[in-house]
Structure formats: structure tokens, C-alpha cells
Structure 1
Amino acid sequence: MKQFFSDFSKLIKFRLTFSVVFSASIAFLIGSKIQIDRAIIDEINWMNWLMLIVGGFLVTGAANCFNEIIEVDLDKLMTRTKDRPMPAGRMTTGQGLVSGLVMGIAGTWLLGKLNLETGLISVFSILLYAFAYTPLKRKSPIAVFVGALPGAFPPLIGYIAAIGHSPVGYVPMDYLIAIVLFSIQFVWQFPHFWSIAWVLDEDYSKAGFRLLPTKKKDKTSAVFTFVGTLVLIPVSLLPTILGFGGYYVAVTSLLFGLLFSWYAYQLMVKMDTASAKKVMFCSFFYIPLVQLILLFDLVI
């Protein structure tokens, strides 16, 4: 049983799936609080929140499962992935396919019950991640841009799940908030992915993955990573600039954005793995922290 849970965790990439669900759930709570402030609803619909979490977990797990089916032969080549259940031979690709289909159908059904838009975006997310981003990883660094799209859908899905089922529906401000939540997570992913690609470059190269901007650890790739952190600062200040975030989230975004940029600057100067790891670990904390502070610092 212990091996089963371990394999299932690796199959769905549990930590990645958890971060995706966390992002969507926080956005759902943001949308719900906004509706409460507008006197559209009296309280948060916790049942819908739970449906979003379970549905998002299943959909993300399905996308990761399809990703591993496609890359099973490549996963055998890399140290960090060779012990996943399919490349290790503890699960067949047929079993993986059935698991992915069951999770994908069940998750999409749950999200679709929240509202049609949520269900449709979840399906598009699976297709884009598994069948566009995955094959592009060996072809071109543009894969990071393609992968950043489904990677930024979780807060969009969460916000739409909260707003889309209300009797009033969307107002113009909702579209703006949804775009901002999407944009923050979209821009954040570039320094996040590039720092990971730098740290794991030797392992990735075994499978022929080309995720760094220039396909190698050089000054230009480090500059791109640094610029990505700089762009993130004004984008993360948009909630306050546009009037739905308070000063606490602005200060948090600015301070941690500057710290993120400082680490990326050190990478640009030193060009070493130790600096890339600092950028990577900072990225892990940045996005959940900013989203949480925004949740408690809404001014609408």
C-alpha cells in the first residue's frame, strides 16, 4: 500500500499538483470575498470550493499523467524521473492512460458543474500542457512560453469558478481582476522555469530538453531570467495600482520582487548553480505568498 501511494504521488507529480490547486483555491476565495463585498452572496460556498479543489486536483493529475505517458522513454534517462512508476516498470502505459482518462473526465465533470467556462478552460489546459508543451520541450525554448499558459490558468479557473455561478455573473471589473491574477502567475513562471532548467540542465540534457532561453547555461539565459524577475515587479503591483489590492500586498510584492531580482542578478554575475538554486527556491515561496496576502488585503 505504501508503494501504491508513493507511485500515485509520483504519477500525478503531487507537489506540482498541490501548488496548482492551492493557487486556484486562493483565487476562488478572492472571487467569493468580492461577491460578498458586493452583497451578491452572504457567505463563501465551501462546497463549491471543495469541488474546485477535488476537480482541479484530478484535472492537473490527468495532465501530468498524460505528460508522463508521452515522455516515458525520456524519463528513463533522467535521474530525477527514472523512478516514476511507468519508466520504472511498476505501471504500464495502458494503466497510466486509463488513470489519466478517469481523472481527466471526473475532474472536468466536477469543474463543469461549477460553470461551463471553468470546465472548458480545464479541458484546454490538459490539451495544451500534454500535447503542446510536452512535445515542444525537446524542440525549442518556446516550450516555456507555451507551458506558462496552462500554468497560469489555475488562478483564472479559481476566480471564474467563484464568479461564474453567481446570479449576477460577471461585471467589467471581474475581467480585469481575472486577467491580473493570470498575468502575475504567467510572468512569474519564466524566472521560475528558467532557474529550474539551470539547476537541472545536466539531467534535462540527457533527454534532450531545451528549456533555457539559449538552450544552455550562458550569460544570455541568465539575463533573460533576471529581466523576467524585473518584469514581475510592476505586474505584481497591478492589484494595488488598479484599486483592488491594498498596500500590504504592494509592499510584499515589491520587497519579495526585489529579493527575487537580487538573486537573479547574482545568477547573472556568478553564472553558477548555487545562485540558480536561490532563484528557484525564492520562486517557490513568491507566488503563494503574494496570493495569500492579496486574499487578506482586498479593498473592493
Structure 2
Amino acid sequence: MRWSDFSKLVKMRLTLLVVFSASISFLIGSKVNGQIIWGDWLILIAGGFLVTSAANCFNEIIEKDLDKLMRRTMDRPIPSGHMTTGQALIIGMLMAIFGVVLLGKLNPTAGYLSIFSILLYAFVYTPMKRKSAVAVFVGAIPGALPPLIGYVAAHPKIDEIALILFGIQFVWQFPHFWAIAWVLNDDYKLAGFRLLPSGKRDAVSAVFAFASTVILLPVSLMPTYYGYGGYYVGGISLLISLVFLYQGTMLMLKQDIKSAKSLMYGSFLYLPVVQLMFLFDFIGKVK
């Protein structure tokens, strides 16, 4: 198996972003406990990578016939013939088992949440994408679980901080996914995916995307509001949220692909910046 095929099978860029958010949350949870165990951090990264890769692998197995229809996915290993469904299934099962075991060793709750994440993403969200735009809401749940898993892997309690980390990533996914769906709508239509709120590029979908950036602004300020972050995370989160809000406004006003791309690229920057600022500011407060 070629590295390029494995990378496409597990959706490497997406997987690394997910692992990054989980690793940041692990460090925050560790600071709540008063100590960072770096060996456990590496286990979290390995387990998170395997679990996320497994979920993406199962997603591609289920959608193998649909991937053949879309230009951006037809070169994935299964539709391109570089890998059989059976080979992908074995790889996915092994990654899922070892990933869950690693996370479960850190904390049983982290292991259970990882199982739930795989099942919800691969076997509920994936088939729902062709039936209803509600799939974006369903998909946002497993999409927001990585920071929760990372936090409880270090601090075995789902507390206020854990819910804030979950909430930020949950709300962030709506402008993120709707921007991507706007840009790739022509390709998605070939496979019958219905990810835009109205099912097409129009004012309704643009307003939903804009509204999600409005909601994200106060959500991103929760670390400061509840006293877990200071003015640094509050100021940076406010600034980047206003930029994100502007990008959402432009999409609502112009309703074009260029504006959607701007919002999409903004979403790639938004999440790591807010999470890193939360971490740095939180570490400063607990010293």
C-alpha cells in the first residue's frame, strides 16, 4: 500500500486537525490536575489518530460508490482500485480497536466516547448526508467530541471546561461545513449529498452560515466569561470572531463562491487560534 493511498483513506489533513484539538484539550485537562504526563499525551495523540482514521476509513468504505461520482474523491484508494473494500475494512477495524484500547487505558470515559464517535460519524452521519441537511447537525456531534475526549483523558470528569471546549468546536463546525458545502456544492450534487441548509446556494443557506458566525462569537468568549481565561484569550477570540463574522456577512451579501472560500479558509485558522489562546491563557492563570 502506498503512503498516498493511506493518507487519502484516513483523510490525513482532517485527521491531523482533529488530533490537534484533542491534544490541546488534553494539555488543558492536565493543567487542571496540576501535572502534564507527556507519555500520556503521546498515547492520546496515537489513540486519537487511530480512532479518527478508523472513522474516516469506514466513511470511505460506505461511500465508495459515491466517491466514484465526485471529482475530488474519485482518486481515493477504493474507488480508484488501489485498495479493495476488504483491505480497507481490515485496516479500519485494526485502527479502531487499537485506538479505543489506547484511549481507554488513559480513561474509560475517553474510550467509550471514542466508540460513540466512530459509530455516530460512520453509521449515522454518513448515510444521512444524502437524506437531509440535518446531517450537518448530527455530524457536528462526533466532530466536537475530540476536545472532550482529550480533556477527559487527562482529567476524568466532564466539567464546565470540558463543555466549553466541546461547545466551541460544536458551533464552529456549522460555518466551517456550510462554507465547504457551498464551495463544493456542484460536486456534492453528483453524489446526492444535501449539506447546505436549503439544499442549494441561495439566500437561505447564506443566512444560516452568517447566523452561525454570530452564535460563535459569544460561545468563543465563554472561557473568559466563566473565568477560565483572561483578557488575552478574550481579546484574541473577540478579534478573530469579528473577522469570521465579517466573512460570514460577505457570504450573506454576495452569495458567491469567492466569499464562501474566504469563510472556509477563515475557519481553518479560527479553531487552532482560539484553542491555543485558551491553552496559553489558562496555563498563565493556574500557575
1:73 aligns with 2:58: no
Q: SS state of the match for residue 297, structure 1?
A: helix
Aligned partners of 1:184, 1:123: CA distance in 2, in Å? 22
Identify the residue that residue 119 of structure 2 maps to in structure 1. 127
Equivalent in 4, 10, 13 of residue 12 of structure 1: 10
Q: SS state of the match for residue 161, structure 1?
A: helix
Identify the residue that residue 193 of structure 1 maps to in structure 2. 177
Measure how far apart 1:51 and its partner are: 0.5
Identify the residue that residue 141 of structure 1 maps to in structure 2. 133
Q: SS state of the match for residue 7, structure 2?
A: helix
Q: Percent identity?
A: 64
Identify the residue that residue 189 of structure 2 maps to in structure 1. 205
Identify the residue that residue 226 of structure 2 maps to in structure 1. 242
Equivalent in 31, 47, 50 of residue 33 of structure 1: 31
Equivalent in 7, 31, 37 of residue 45 of structure 1: 37
* Counterpart amino acid of residue 13 in structure 2: R
Q: Which runs of 5+ in 1 are unaligned?
A: 37-42, 165-169
Aligned partners of 1:83, 1:31: CA distance in 2, in Å? 39
Measure how far apart 1:32 and its partner are: 0.8
Aligned partners of 2:67, 2:195: CA distance in 1, in Å? 16
Q: SS state of the match for residue 195, structure 2?
A: coil
Measure how far apart 1:135 and its partner are: 0.2
TM-score (norm. length: structure 1) = 0.94
Measure how far apart 1:70 and its partner are: 0.2
Measure how far apart 1:33 and its partner are: 1.4
> Deviations along 1:59-98, whole A, 9 cap, x unmatched?
0000000000000000000011000000000100000100
Aligned partners of 2:159, 2:281: CA distance in 1, in Å? 19
Q: SS state of the match for residue 26, structure 1?
A: helix
- After TM superposition, the runs of 4+ consecutive aligned structure 1 residues lying more than 2 A away are none
* Counterpart amino acid of residue 255 in structure 2: M
Q: How much is the aligned-residue C-alpha RMSD, in angstroms?
A: 0.8
Q: Which runs of 5+ in 2 are unaligned?
A: none
Alignment of 1:147-296 (within 5 A): 147-164=139-156, 170=157, 175-296=159-280
Aligned partners of 1:294, 1:156: CA distance in 2, in Å? 14
* Counterpart amino acid of residue 60 in structure 1: T
Aligned partners of 1:273, 1:88: CA distance in 2, in Å? 28
Aligned partners of 2:223, 2:247: CA distance in 1, in Å? 24
Measure how far apart 1:229 and its partner are: 0.3
Identify the residue that residue 23 of structure 1 maps to in structure 2. 21
Aligned partners of 1:265, 1:244: CA distance in 2, in Å? 30
* Counterpart amino acid of residue 175 in structure 1: D
Aligned partners of 1:54, 1:113: CA distance in 2, in Å? 12
